[in-house]
Structure 1
C-alpha cells in the first residue's frame, strides 16, 4: 500500500451462546439425540432413539501409572465414564458441566476463547474433558483442580496462549492445568503451549497423577511438581515431548515417588528459547528416570544433595552441563505394570504420537446402525519438503483441491521452510493450511517479492501481487505456522515500491489462529473481494511483525489476544504506523482487542494508525479501534496521524481502556470511546453472527 498524494478532501464531520448437547448414550443408558453430522443444537434435535448404546472406548478409557493405583478411597482414574456424554462449544457450557457435581464426559468441539484471559475453570470430581479429534481447543485459559477434587481425565485438547508478552511473568498466574491438593488425575494426549505461567502445576500434595503422551512447548516455567514441605506426591510422567521450553521440564520438589520414562526433551538449535535445565529432582524427591531421550538440552538432569535420581537407559545427544544421578529411589513395578519403549525410538515415536489424536472424542456408537462422527471428517492433504508427504510444495496441495469443494480440506504441512508463493483461489473454499510441528515457528512459508519487483512477463507485482500467501477463498483457516515476506529493502534501494506483503486475504470468514505474519512495510493486507463485499477476518493468539502500515486494508478485521511487534526500518531508524484502514463508510474496519503492542524500537516513534483512502477515494471512512490492549512506550502520545491529504479526524479512530506506558488519557488528539460506544464495538459486533471455529 502506498500513499496517494493530493490535497485534503473533507467530508461529514450480541451474540447467543451455543447450547451443549448430548453426543451419545452412556453405558448406563440415556436418551440420545443426533443429526447426520452428530452435533446439533436445540433447533436441530430429532426424535430420540430409545435404544441403549455403549459408550465409545475413549469415553471409558482409564489411566495407567500412579493414577491407576488405588488409594485415598479412589480405585483408579476413569473420569466421567459413569455419566452422560455432552458436547460443548462455548465457555458457559464448558463451565456448566465441568463444575457440576455429577459425572460427565465433556467433549469440546471447536475453539473456546476464555473470558477473561487467564480464567481457570474449577473442575469438580468425576469428569472427563476431551477434545473432539484435533478440533478441541481452550485458548487464553485453562483448568483448576482444587483440594479434594479427584478422578478427573483431561485428554486430547489443545490448551494455549494465555501469554501476556512477558517471558518471566510474575504477575499472571495463568496455567493450562493447575492442581492444588487434587488426586487421581490423568492428563493425556494434549498440546499445551504458550501460557503466561505453567503448562502443568501439580501442587499442595496432589498425588496419584499420570501425565502421558502430551506435547509441551513454547513456554518458560513448563511443568512444576511439589512446592510443599510434605513428601506425598506420587506421579508418573511418560511419553511426553518437551520442546522449546526453558525450565521445569519437569521440576520435581519433595515428591515421594516420581517415575519418568520414555520422554523426549528437545532444545532446538537456532530458536530463541534456550533450555535452562531438563529433569530436576529437588528436596527429598525420589526419582526413577528411564529410557528418555535428551537432545541439545542444557543441564539435562540435575538433583539436590538431598534428592535421589536413579537413571536407566537414557540417551544424551548434544547436551551440556549437569547430568547427575545418585541416591536410592524405588521400583515402579511394585506399584503398577508398564512396558518401556526403546530409547532410540523415542523421538520418532513422540513426534508422530504425542498430542491430540483424530480418533479420540470423535465417534460414538448409535445402536446397531454403526457410528456417527461428532464432527464431519475433513479431507487431509500432506505436504513435506523431504518427499514423505503427498506433495512437496504447499501450492501443489492447493492445486489438488477440487474446484468448488463442498467441505473442509486440511493441508497439513510438515516442519520446514517452503520458499514459494501460495494462492488459494476464490473457487476453493473451506481450506485450512496447518503446520504440523510443535511450534508455529517450525513451518515457514516465505518469499521476497515487493511491489516494485519485476514480473517475469513484464511489469511489476504491485502491493497486492507481492503477497507470499494470497487467500481469495471464503472460509479459509491458517494455523500453527509462519508466513513471511523477507524482501531486503536495504539491498534494493534502487527498486521503486518497497511494499512487501506476507499475507493477503480478500475473502469472507478468514480464521487466522496461532500464526506469525512477518514482514516490514505492508505485512498483513486484510482486503475484500470487492468494495461492496463483506470480508470478515478473525486473527487470534498470533503475532504480526512490521513497521509501516503493516496491518492495512478494507476488511472487517479483528486482531484478538495477539502480539503486534514493532520493528525498526531497514536503516535502523524507529518510525512507523501500525494500521492503515481503508474501510467503506458502511462497514466496520480494524479492531485490535485484548492484545499487546511492543517491540525493540524507540519510545514515542510509532503511530497506531492513519487513514488510507485508496486511490484518493473520499467516500471511504477508515476505522481503527484499539481497546483493552497493552501499549508499550513506543506509541506516540498523539497516536493517530493524517495520510495523503486526508485528516484522521474526519474518519473513525479511537481507543478504549488501553494500558501500558504507551496508553494515555482522552483528549482532542486522542479520542476514547465512552462505555456506551464501547458496548457496540465488541468482537462479536465485528464478526456479525459468525463464530470462528477451528476445523
Structure 2
C-alpha cells in the first residue's frame, strides 16, 4: 500500500483520513464510562450516546487530573470516553487503571508539537530532550487506549528541506507521539494510530500489546528498551526530503535497546510494512541496535548490556525494505569516541516467514540468512510468551450504552 502525502507540514486531516482507510473502526460510548471528554455541547448533541449526567471535561488532561484526584479509588478501573474532535494538548497519565476510549480513530485526535531541540521556556537554555516530547506519556500500569489517533505534528519535513547553514534550521528533531515510562506495565493500544516522523513510539516500560492501528514515521520510529507485541499493525515508512543518510537509507523501523537479560524486545506478528509515496525501493532497514549512552562508575558511554531485540513474524514487507534487512548504529565508546555497533553480533534481530516482494527480496549472505528463525525457534514467539501470560481483560467498552 502506498500512502500519498502532498505537503511538507504534517497534515492532521490527512493522518486521520489515512487511518480511516487503514482501520475504519468506530465505537459508541462504553457502557462502563465514568468520565466524558467533549469539545462542546454541539459534540454532545451530535453523539446521541453521550450520557450528560457523567463528569464532563473539555480536555483529556482535565479528565486524567480528575481521576488522579480520587486517590481513595486507586484500584478502580476508570473508563474515559473521548468524543470526536481534535484535542491539542500534551497528556500525561500518571495513575493506574485508565481506559481511554475515543469515539473513533478517524474522528478523535490528540495532537501536540513538542520536539527535542525545543527550549523549555523562551529565555531558558534547557531543552526538552526526546524523553519529554511525547504527545501522550503513559506512566501508570494497566492503561488502555482505544479507537484514537495520536500525533506529534512537529514539522520535521519543513525543517529538513532547509539548507544546513540556515540559522533557522533546528537540531534535536526527535518528536515522540506516544511514550511508555520505565515503570509502566500492561499498556494496551487497540486500534490506535500513531503519527510522527523521528521516534514516533518510545517504549521504555515493561509489557505492551499493540493490536491493529497504524504506526507511521521514518527514523527509529519504534524504539526503546520495552517488551512489546505488535499484532496486525500497519507500519508506515514516511518520505524523507533530504535524500537519506550516506548509505542511501531513508529510514529505520526499529531501534531497540533491550537489556540483555530480557528474552524479548519488539515482536511483530502478522503486521504490514508499508510506505508513503516517495519512499524509494530498498531504502528502509528493519532495525538497528541502539546502545544508549549511560553513566557507569567508570565513565559515560554506550550501554554494553543494551543488546536490542526485534523479531518480525509472518509480516508483509513492501519493496522499500532493504535486502540486507538490518544496519549498524553508532555509539560512544568508554574512550569517548564513536564506533558502529553491528546488527549481527551486538543485537538480537530475526525474522520468520516474511512475505510480499520486499519479504522475498533477501540478500543471500551468511550474516543475513543467520537472522532467519527455524520453525522450532519461531514457536517461542507467541503472544503469551512475550507478554508473560498477561492478557488485557475483556472490558465492556465494546458494548454500546443501552
Q: TM-score, normalised by structure 1?
A: 0.44
Taking the TM superposition and a 5 Å limit, the aligned residue runs for 1:442-591 are 442-456=107-121, 458=124, 459-492=126-159, 494-506=169-181, 507-528=184-205, 535-571=206-242, 575-587=250-262, 588-591=264-267
More displaced, 673-682 or 570-579? 570-579
What is the rounded CA distance, in whole Å, between the counterparts of 1:358 and 1:419 in structure 2?
23
Native 8 Å contact 1:489 1:570 kept in 2: no
Query: Residue 693 of structure 1: CA displacement?
Result: 3.1
For the pair shown, which has the larger CA radius of gyration, 1 or 2?
Answer: 1
Match of 1:374 in 2: none
Q: In structure 2, do the counterparts of structure 1 residues 589 and 357 end up closer, same or farther at CA, with 3 Å as the change threshold?
A: closer
CA distance in 2 between partners of 1:647 and 1:676 (Å) = 26
Helix, strand or coil at the partner of 1:395: helix
**CA distance in structure 2 between the partners assigned to 1:461 and 1:434 by the alignment:** 29
- The answer as to 2:271 corresponding to 1:604 is no
Query: Per the alignment, do residues 484 and 592 of structure 1 end up closer, same or farther by CA in structure 2, a change over 3 Å counting?
Result: same
Partner of 1:381: 35
In structure 2, C-alpha distance between the alignment counterparts of 1:568 and 1:414, rounded to whole Å: 32
1: CA distance, partners of 2:28 / 2:177:
30
Q: Do the aligned partners of residues 642 and 448 (structure 1) sit closer, same or farther apart at CA in structure 2, a change above 3 Å counting?
A: same
Deviation, 1:410, is 1.2
The question of 1:639 aligning with 2:325 is answered yes
Query: 3-state DSSP class of the match of 1:676?
Result: helix
Higher relative contact order (CA 8 A, sep 6+): 2
Aligned residues: 324
Give SS of 1:577's match: strand
Q: Secondary structure at the match of 1:480?
A: strand
Q: Equivalent residue of 1:432, what SS?
A: strand
Secondary structure at the counterpart of residue 525 of structure 1: strand
Is the contact between residue 520 and residue 569 of structure 1 (CA under 8 Å) also seen in structure 2? Answer: no
Report the RMSD for the aligned CA atoms in angstroms.
2.5
Q: Following TM superposition, by how much is the alpha carbon of 1:641 offset from its aligned partner in structure 2, in angstroms?
A: 0.7
Inter-partner Cα distance in structure 2 for 1:490 and 1:513? 28
What's the secondary structure of 1:641's corresponding residue?
coil
Which structure's residues are more often helix, by fraction? 2
- TM-superposed CA distance for 1:273, in Å, is 10
The structure 1 segments of at least 4 consecutive aligned residues displaced by more than 3 Å after TM superposition are 270-275, 354-359, 490-493, 570-574, 664-667
**Mapping 1:603-682, distance limit 5 Å:** 603-615=281-293, 616-644=302-330, 645-650=340-345, 651-664=347-360, 667-670=366-369, 671-682=371-382
Counterparts of 1:568 and 1:271, CA distance in 2: 18
Structure 2 match to 1:414: 83
Report SS of the residue matched to 1:487.
coil
Does structure 2 conserve the Cα–Cα contact (< 8 Å) formed by 1:383 and 1:391? Answer: yes
The residue that corresponds to 2:270 in the other structure is: 594
Deviation per CA, 1:432-470, whole angstroms, max 9, x where unpaired? 111113xx1200100111001111273111101010000
Gaps of 5+ in 2: 4-15, 45-51, 163-168, 294-301, 331-339, 396-402
